Amino acid sequence: MAAPSLVLRPLLIAIVLTSLIAFAADETGQPAPRFRAKTMTGEQFNNASIKGKVVLFEFWTTWCKYCEEEAELVDGIAKEFSDKGLIVLAVDVLEPDQKDTNLAAMYNAQSYPIYVVIDRDGNIAAEQRGAGGETSLRRLLKRAGIETKDEDSDN
């Protein structure tokens, strides 16, 4: 299997954080941290540009076997729900060229992957630390208002 960055690049957005401003809280229902991000293709995102969309942040590293195992799953989720307003931003953390990234620290990232879902109003709808499979990711999206099918199955 290819590294997550190769699998996710075409449809998921591997971002490099260029700036991080004030953090409100990492608890469900609280406003998401204010951020400004730039994708590897140059597309820019910030809190204002994601308003009205559901955002799935995936924090991962190249050395994380669980991240690699779930890369294809996250890619499929991104494809399936892109027309329902889902944006997936994959944040590669703990790599030598990512030293300036503070967003992972603000979510207290100590093990990977970590998933954070931001609802259409810009609030944290759900968090998950560690791999959980398809059912778990679908439940996270449902908490942000994206209706999913077959939530009780890992198929």
Q: What is the mean pLDDT of the segment spanning 108-137?
A: 91
pLDDT of residue 106: 66
Residue 115: exposure state from Cβ atoms within 10 A (0-12, 13-18, ≥19): buried
What are the tens digits of pLDDT across the range 116-129?
Answer: 999 999 999 999 99
Say how many C-beta atoms besides its own lie within 10 A of residue 37's C-beta: 22
What are the tens digits of pLDDT across the range 50-86?
Answer: 999 999 999 898 899 999 999 999 999 999 999 999 9
Phi-psi region of 82 (alpha: psi -120 to 50; beta: other; left: phi over 0): alpha
pTM for this model (two decimals): 0.74
What are the tens digits of pLDDT across the range 139-154?
Answer: 999 999 998 875 444 4
Question: How many angstroms separate the CA atoms of 48 and 98, rounded?
Answer: 24
pLDDT band of 5, cuts 50, 70, 90 = very low
pLDDT of residue 15: 37
pLDDT of residue 111: 80
